[in-house]
Amino acid sequence: REASASALSNFLAAESMQLFGARGGGATPDIWCEGPILQAVHQFNLYKDCKDFVDSPLRVDPAEAWKRWNALPKPVTEDSVRTFIKGAFGEPGSELLPWSPPDYRERPELLERLPQGEV
């Protein structure tokens, strides 16, 4: 069990690095954690919930997002940042796909074995 959990953890870490780029050491800062894009999003309060930006997937490659950001006239305005975000990022959570595990059961066997008052 421990070995399979470790293998899954390693797999997920590798997939995350492929999708989002390795943090640190790269020429491109992590868009969602630091840097001028995040700073501008917070400065102009573009989202009702400050967590929404970090839940917004990129629609373009990170390098393309930075290219577009760097092409914006400086200092950036609220309108230019809104337009940039609309073109480079999707809606918060939109990269998630609905999924039901194939072995899902509303009442797993384990619950059936518990006395009624303990569930």
Q: pTM for the complete prediction?
A: 0.60
- Nearest Cα residue to 119 out of 106, 100, 104: 106
32-48 pLDDT, tens per residue?
Answer: 888 999 999 999 999 99
38-90 pLDDT, tens per residue?
Answer: 999 999 999 999 899 999 999 999 999 999 999 999 999 999 999 999 999 99
Cβ atoms within 10 Å of 82's Cβ, excluding its own? 14
CA 119 vs CA 105, 106, 108, 111, 112: distances in Å: 15, 13, 12, 7, 9
Residues counted in the chain = 119
- Nearest Cα residue to 56 out of 85, 81, 79, 84: 85
